[in-house]
Structure 1
Amino acid sequence: MKPSRSKPGTADRRRAERAGRWAETLAGLYLQLCFYTIVARRFKTPVGEIDLIVRRGRTLVFVEVKQRAGIEARDMALGAVNMGRISRAAQWYLARNRKFASFDCRFDVLLLAPWRWPHHLKNIFPAQ
Protein backbone atom coordinates (compact mmCIF):
# COMPACT_ATOMS: atom_id res chain seq x y z
CA MET A 1 0.00 0.00 0.00
CA LYS A 2 1.24 3.48 -0.87
CA PRO A 3 1.90 5.66 2.23
CA SER A 4 -0.34 8.62 2.90
CA ARG A 5 0.98 11.97 1.65
CA SER A 6 0.01 13.58 4.95
CA LYS A 7 2.15 11.30 7.14
CA PRO A 8 5.01 13.19 8.81
CA GLY A 9 7.71 10.89 7.46
CA THR A 10 6.96 11.14 3.75
CA ALA A 11 9.24 13.04 1.41
CA ASP A 12 6.38 15.33 0.30
CA ARG A 13 5.57 16.20 3.89
CA ARG A 14 9.20 16.92 4.74
CA ARG A 15 9.51 19.10 1.64
CA ALA A 16 6.34 21.00 2.60
CA GLU A 17 7.69 21.46 6.15
CA ARG A 18 10.95 22.94 4.82
CA ALA A 19 9.06 25.23 2.44
CA GLY A 20 6.84 26.40 5.30
CA ARG A 21 9.82 27.17 7.51
CA TRP A 22 11.48 29.07 4.66
CA ALA A 23 8.29 31.08 4.03
CA GLU A 24 8.05 31.96 7.72
CA THR A 25 11.70 33.05 7.71
CA LEU A 26 11.09 35.32 4.70
CA ALA A 27 7.93 36.67 6.32
CA GLY A 28 9.86 37.44 9.51
CA LEU A 29 12.55 39.31 7.58
CA TYR A 30 9.91 41.27 5.67
CA LEU A 31 8.13 42.25 8.88
CA GLN A 32 11.41 43.29 10.49
CA LEU A 33 12.07 45.54 7.49
CA CYS A 34 8.63 47.05 8.19
CA PHE A 35 9.77 47.85 11.77
CA TYR A 36 8.04 45.01 13.57
CA THR A 37 9.79 43.12 16.37
CA ILE A 38 9.42 39.36 16.37
CA VAL A 39 8.07 38.11 19.70
CA ALA A 40 7.63 34.42 18.79
CA ARG A 41 7.93 32.08 15.81
CA ARG A 42 5.87 28.92 15.27
CA PHE A 43 4.20 29.30 18.63
CA LYS A 44 2.45 26.03 19.44
CA THR A 45 -0.47 25.81 21.85
CA PRO A 46 -2.83 22.95 22.68
CA VAL A 47 -5.47 24.65 20.51
CA GLY A 48 -3.35 25.52 17.47
CA GLU A 49 -0.22 27.15 16.14
CA ILE A 50 0.57 30.76 15.30
CA ASP A 51 3.20 31.22 12.59
CA LEU A 52 4.55 34.57 13.83
CA ILE A 53 3.77 36.88 16.71
CA VAL A 54 5.18 40.36 16.18
CA ARG A 55 4.77 43.75 17.77
CA ARG A 56 5.14 47.35 16.77
CA GLY A 57 4.66 49.91 19.48
CA ARG A 58 1.68 48.87 21.63
CA THR A 59 0.18 46.59 18.98
CA LEU A 60 0.62 42.83 19.11
CA VAL A 61 0.07 41.13 15.76
CA PHE A 62 -0.67 37.44 15.20
CA VAL A 63 0.47 36.58 11.68
CA GLU A 64 -0.56 33.62 9.53
CA VAL A 65 1.90 32.97 6.68
CA LYS A 66 0.66 31.38 3.46
CA GLN A 67 3.00 30.46 0.62
CA ARG A 68 1.78 29.27 -2.76
CA ALA A 69 3.45 28.35 -6.03
CA GLY A 70 1.91 31.18 -8.05
CA ILE A 71 0.28 34.54 -7.57
CA GLU A 72 -3.22 33.24 -8.43
CA ALA A 73 -2.94 30.41 -5.91
CA ARG A 74 -1.46 32.84 -3.41
CA ASP A 75 -4.55 35.05 -3.54
CA MET A 76 -6.82 32.02 -3.16
CA ALA A 77 -4.87 30.90 -0.07
CA LEU A 78 -6.81 33.37 2.03
CA GLY A 79 -9.67 30.89 2.12
CA ALA A 80 -7.39 28.39 3.86
CA VAL A 81 -6.92 30.63 6.90
CA ASN A 82 -8.58 29.03 9.91
CA MET A 83 -9.66 32.11 11.87
CA GLY A 84 -11.09 30.14 14.78
CA ARG A 85 -7.85 28.22 15.34
CA ILE A 86 -5.72 31.36 15.21
CA SER A 87 -8.08 33.26 17.51
CA ARG A 88 -8.11 30.47 20.11
CA ALA A 89 -4.32 30.16 19.97
CA ALA A 90 -3.97 33.94 20.40
CA GLN A 91 -6.26 33.89 23.44
CA TRP A 92 -4.18 31.07 24.91
CA TYR A 93 -0.98 33.06 24.28
CA LEU A 94 -2.37 36.23 25.87
CA ALA A 95 -3.61 34.34 28.92
CA ARG A 96 -0.07 33.11 29.57
CA ASN A 97 1.76 36.33 28.66
CA ARG A 98 0.12 38.96 30.83
CA LYS A 99 2.67 41.62 29.86
CA PHE A 100 0.75 42.00 26.57
CA ALA A 101 -2.68 42.31 28.25
CA SER A 102 -2.87 46.07 27.65
CA PHE A 103 -1.72 45.84 24.02
CA ASP A 104 -4.02 46.24 21.04
CA CYS A 105 -4.21 42.97 19.11
CA ARG A 106 -4.55 42.35 15.41
CA PHE A 107 -4.66 39.36 13.07
CA ASP A 108 -2.74 39.64 9.81
CA VAL A 109 -2.07 37.32 6.89
CA LEU A 110 1.14 37.46 4.88
CA LEU A 111 0.80 35.87 1.43
CA LEU A 112 3.96 34.79 -0.39
CA ALA A 113 4.61 33.66 -3.96
CA PRO A 114 7.95 33.12 -5.71
CA TRP A 115 9.52 36.23 -7.20
CA ARG A 116 6.77 38.49 -5.84
CA TRP A 117 6.75 40.98 -3.02
CA PRO A 118 4.88 39.71 0.04
CA HIS A 119 1.24 40.75 0.20
CA HIS A 120 0.53 41.89 3.77
CA LEU A 121 -3.17 41.87 4.67
CA LYS A 122 -3.64 43.73 7.93
CA ASN A 123 -6.44 43.25 10.44
CA ILE A 124 -7.93 40.43 8.37
CA PHE A 125 -10.55 39.61 11.00
CA PRO A 126 -11.56 41.32 14.24
CA ALA A 127 -9.98 40.38 17.55
CA GLN A 128 -12.48 38.91 19.98
Structure 2
Amino acid sequence: MNRHAAEKRGRGGEALACWYLRLKGWRILARRARVPGGEVDIVARRGSTLAFVEVKARASEEAAAFALDEWRLRRVVVAAERLAPRYMKANDDIRIDALFIVPGRWPRHLPDVWQGDSSRRRY
Protein backbone atom coordinates (compact mmCIF):
# COMPACT_ATOMS: atom_id res chain seq x y z
CA MET A 1 0.00 0.00 0.00
CA ASN A 2 1.38 3.40 -0.93
CA ARG A 3 1.68 6.29 1.52
CA HIS A 4 -1.35 8.16 0.15
CA ALA A 5 -3.61 5.12 0.51
CA ALA A 6 -2.30 4.43 4.02
CA GLU A 7 -2.93 8.06 5.00
CA LYS A 8 -6.48 7.88 3.63
CA ARG A 9 -7.16 4.63 5.53
CA GLY A 10 -5.71 6.15 8.69
CA ARG A 11 -7.91 9.25 8.51
CA GLY A 12 -10.97 7.11 7.82
CA GLY A 13 -10.13 4.89 10.77
CA GLU A 14 -9.72 7.91 13.03
CA ALA A 15 -13.07 9.33 11.91
CA LEU A 16 -14.77 6.00 12.64
CA ALA A 17 -12.99 5.83 16.01
CA CYS A 18 -14.28 9.30 16.90
CA TRP A 19 -17.86 8.30 16.10
CA TYR A 20 -17.50 5.12 18.12
CA LEU A 21 -16.13 7.01 21.12
CA ARG A 22 -18.91 9.60 20.89
CA LEU A 23 -21.52 6.83 20.89
CA LYS A 24 -19.86 5.50 24.07
CA GLY A 25 -20.21 8.87 25.81
CA TRP A 26 -16.77 10.36 25.10
CA ARG A 27 -16.25 13.97 24.06
CA ILE A 28 -13.56 14.46 21.41
CA LEU A 29 -11.22 17.28 22.40
CA ALA A 30 -8.66 16.99 19.61
CA ARG A 31 -7.64 14.93 16.60
CA ARG A 32 -4.08 14.45 15.38
CA ALA A 33 -2.63 16.54 18.18
CA ARG A 34 1.08 17.04 17.45
CA VAL A 35 3.91 18.13 19.68
CA PRO A 36 7.68 17.78 19.35
CA GLY A 37 8.45 14.10 19.89
CA GLY A 38 5.08 12.59 19.04
CA GLU A 39 1.46 12.71 18.02
CA VAL A 40 -1.82 11.56 19.52
CA ASP A 41 -4.58 10.46 17.16
CA ILE A 42 -7.46 11.40 19.48
CA VAL A 43 -7.72 13.24 22.78
CA ALA A 44 -11.04 12.38 24.45
CA ARG A 45 -12.79 12.95 27.76
CA ARG A 46 -15.55 11.11 29.59
CA GLY A 47 -16.23 12.45 33.07
CA SER A 48 -12.94 12.77 34.92
CA THR A 49 -11.09 10.43 32.53
CA LEU A 50 -8.83 12.02 29.95
CA ALA A 51 -7.72 9.52 27.30
CA PHE A 52 -5.02 9.84 24.68
CA VAL A 53 -6.10 7.33 22.03
CA GLU A 54 -3.90 5.65 19.42
CA VAL A 55 -5.97 4.36 16.49
CA LYS A 56 -4.81 1.44 14.34
CA ALA A 57 -6.83 0.69 11.20
CA ARG A 58 -5.64 -2.58 9.69
CA ALA A 59 -6.96 -5.54 7.70
CA SER A 60 -7.03 -7.80 10.78
CA GLU A 61 -6.98 -7.41 14.54
CA GLU A 62 -3.65 -9.22 14.66
CA ALA A 63 -2.15 -6.70 12.22
CA ALA A 64 -3.54 -3.81 14.29
CA ALA A 65 -2.09 -5.23 17.50
CA PHE A 66 1.26 -5.83 15.80
CA ALA A 67 1.30 -2.21 14.59
CA LEU A 68 1.04 -0.97 18.18
CA ASP A 69 4.54 -1.77 19.36
CA GLU A 70 6.43 -0.36 22.32
CA TRP A 71 8.26 2.23 20.19
CA ARG A 72 4.99 3.69 18.86
CA LEU A 73 3.42 3.62 22.31
CA ARG A 74 6.38 5.54 23.76
CA ARG A 75 5.85 8.28 21.17
CA VAL A 76 2.19 8.50 22.20
CA VAL A 77 3.20 8.66 25.86
CA VAL A 78 5.68 11.48 25.18
CA ALA A 79 3.02 13.40 23.26
CA ALA A 80 0.41 12.75 25.96
CA GLU A 81 2.73 14.04 28.68
CA ARG A 82 3.29 17.23 26.71
CA LEU A 83 -0.38 17.65 25.79
CA ALA A 84 -1.89 16.79 29.18
CA PRO A 85 -1.56 20.28 30.67
CA ARG A 86 -3.69 21.68 27.81
CA TYR A 87 -6.61 19.35 28.45
CA MET A 88 -6.49 18.09 32.02
CA LYS A 89 -8.60 19.28 34.93
CA ALA A 90 -8.05 18.80 38.64
CA ASN A 91 -8.41 15.17 39.78
CA ASP A 92 -8.42 13.74 36.25
CA ASP A 93 -7.41 10.17 35.58
CA ILE A 94 -5.15 10.22 32.54
CA ARG A 95 -4.54 7.15 30.44
CA ILE A 96 -3.33 5.91 27.07
CA ASP A 97 -5.91 3.88 25.12
CA ALA A 98 -5.82 2.03 21.82
CA LEU A 99 -8.66 1.57 19.37
CA PHE A 100 -8.45 -1.06 16.62
CA ILE A 101 -10.46 -0.56 13.44
CA VAL A 102 -10.85 -3.74 11.37
CA PRO A 103 -13.19 -4.09 8.36
CA GLY A 104 -16.42 -5.96 9.09
CA ARG A 105 -16.01 -5.82 12.88
CA TRP A 106 -16.99 -3.44 15.64
CA PRO A 107 -14.14 -1.20 16.78
CA ARG A 108 -12.18 -2.66 19.68
CA HIS A 109 -11.36 -0.15 22.43
CA LEU A 110 -8.50 -1.15 24.73
CA PRO A 111 -8.33 1.16 27.75
CA ASP A 112 -5.12 1.93 29.61
CA VAL A 113 -2.64 0.11 27.35
CA TRP A 114 0.49 1.82 28.68
CA GLN A 115 1.90 0.17 31.78
CA GLY A 116 5.05 2.29 32.08
CA ASP A 117 5.85 4.94 34.69
CA SER A 118 3.41 7.40 33.08
CA SER A 119 0.33 5.19 33.24
CA ARG A 120 -2.81 6.28 35.09
CA ARG A 121 -1.50 9.46 36.59
CA ARG A 122 -3.91 11.32 38.78
CA TYR A 123 -3.55 15.12 38.86
Q: Identify whether the pair has TM-score above 0.5, normalized to the shorter chain.
A: yes
Number of residue pairs matched by the alignment:
116
Of the three residues 43, 58, 61, the one matched with 2:48 is 58
Runs of 4+ with >6 A deviation: none
Cα drift, residue 82 of structure 1: 1.7
1:34-45 matches, within 5 Å, as: 34-45=24-35
- Indicate if the aligned counterparts of 1:49 and 1:86 stay in contact, CA closer than 8 A: yes
Q: Does 1:118 align with 2:107?
A: yes
- Indicate if the aligned counterparts of 2:93 and 2:120 stay in contact, CA closer than 8 A: no
- Indicate if the aligned counterparts of 2:97 and 2:111 stay in contact, CA closer than 8 A: yes
In structure 2, what is the Cα distance between the partners aligned to 1:75 and 1:82?
11
Match of 1:79 in 2: 69
Structure 2 counterpart of 1:22, one-letter code: G
Match of 1:7 in 2: none
Specify the SS of the correspondent of 1:42: strand
> What is the alpha-carbon root mean square deviation over aligned residues?
1.9
Q: Does 1:100 align with 2:99?
A: no
Q: Does 1:25 align with 2:2?
A: no
Specify the SS of the correspondent of 1:19: helix
Mind listing any 5+ residue stretches in structure 2 that lack a counterpart? none
Q: Does 1:49 align with 2:39?
A: yes
TM-score, normalised by the number of residues in structure 2: 0.85
Match of 1:89 in 2: 79
